Structure 1
Amino acid sequence: AMTVHVEIADFTRFPTAKAFMAYLGLTPSESSSGDKISRSSITKQGNSTVRSTLVECAHALVKGTIGLKSKRVKARQKGQQSEVISYADRAVERLQRKYHRMMHQGKPRNVAITAIARELGCFIWGLETGKI
């Protein structure tokens, strides 16, 4: 979390979470011609440090059991605002469910992890800009 915060500093310079994801390069590249739209891998533009940090976080996040918190997480959350804890819990549960759904649909693991990293970045943007 500290890496993302230090690298970005001012999250308000991004008007939307979509703009933040575009900055990080976690949006699909597009090659369009006329009516034909072709999307492929992520653009990889922008801040590679934050992008790789989010991907690593996504790998760790999907290993947990849906709806279960470790004692260490509970201890870290003591004294924090209940609104922030609730937001984080919703984010973790949503991302874990999304990962399992994508894997059940037969998506490649790296595709699912990249999707989780992108959405995790959106949750972080929401937290940092106060749009909980």
Structure 2
Amino acid sequence: MLTEAAWCYRFPARKTAHLQRRAKTTPAIPCRRSPGSEKRLCGRYQHPMRAGKLKVQVCTAIARELTGFLWAVACAVQAEAR
């Protein structure tokens, strides 16, 4: 699932009207952290691609970074709940 999500970072990060509507019902912590991480992950996708890496290798690396982001959000949500 993370690898499939990583494929989306091929395109520039943008906040569409649909995402803005969904953000209204999303908890505050992920919404605060998402824009910066989306831009960073899109950039992290483009850099190795320009260097000539294979797409599957780049997507696997992005999936790994996405795992770290999800872990940080989960820890922040858990700490806030305490």
TM-score by length of 2: 0.82
Tell me the alpha carbon deviations over residues 97-127 of structure 1, each in whole angstroms, 9 at most, x when there is no partner.
0001110111110110000000000000010
Q: Which runs of 4+ in 1 moved over 4 A?
A: none
Match of 1:65 in 2: 12
Aligned residues: 76
Percent sequence identity over aligned pairs = 28
Unaligned runs of 5+ in 2: 78-82
Report the Cα offset of residue 63 of structure 1. 3.7
Match of 1:78 in 2: 24
Q: Who wins on radius of gyration, i.e. which is larger?
A: 1
TM-score by length of 1: 0.53
Report the Cα offset of residue 79 of structure 1. 4.4
Q: Tell whether 2:58 aligns with 1:107.
A: no
Higher helix share: 2
User: What is the rounded CA distance, in whole Å, between the counterparts of 1:112 and 1:76 in structure 2?
Assistant: 28
Say what the alpha-carbon RMSD is for the aligned residues: 1.6
